[in-house]
């Protein structure tokens, strides 16, 4: 349950940084958000807004890769390689 708190904090930090338009820090916090949720089989907080931010600051394909890795982890127990692609 502690990882959910970390993910929520990182997402709110990203939302605060969007106001200041610091893309380097935004990418760093999004990287941490994705890493925190990498191997968890529970619900993901703020999935839709985080997908939008990942698509905007990384790329659409990396956002889709993040979603696919979450689905893959949930149903197959694997998906870390897709997440590594999304975080590069």
Question: Contact, 87 vs 31, CB < 8 A?
Answer: yes
Largest Cα separation within the chain, whole Å, is 39
pLDDT band at 82 (very low <50, low <70, confident <90, very high): confident
Q: What is the mean pLDDT of the chain?
A: 82
Question: Contact, 51 vs 67, CB < 8 A?
Answer: yes
Question: pTM for the full model?
Answer: 0.80
- Cα separations in angstroms, 14 against 6, 22, 54, 72: 12, 9, 11, 25
Q: What local confidence, expressed as pLDDT, does residue 1 receive?
A: 64
- Please indicate whether residue 88 or residue 17 has the higher confidence score (pLDDT): 17
- Please indicate whether residue 62 or residue 38 has the higher confidence score (pLDDT): 62
């Amino acid at each position: 349950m502690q990882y959910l708190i970390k993910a929520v904090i990182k997402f709110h930090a990203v939302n605060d940084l969007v106001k200041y338009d610091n893309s380097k820090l935004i990418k760093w916090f999004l990287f941490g958000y994705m890493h925190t949720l990498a191997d968890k089989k529970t619900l993901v907080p703020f999935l839709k807004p985080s997908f939008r931010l990942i698509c905007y600051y990384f790329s659409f394909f990396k956002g889709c890769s993040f979603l696919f890795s979450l689905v893959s982890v949930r149903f197959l127990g694997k998906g870390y390689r897709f997440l590594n692609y999304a975080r590069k």
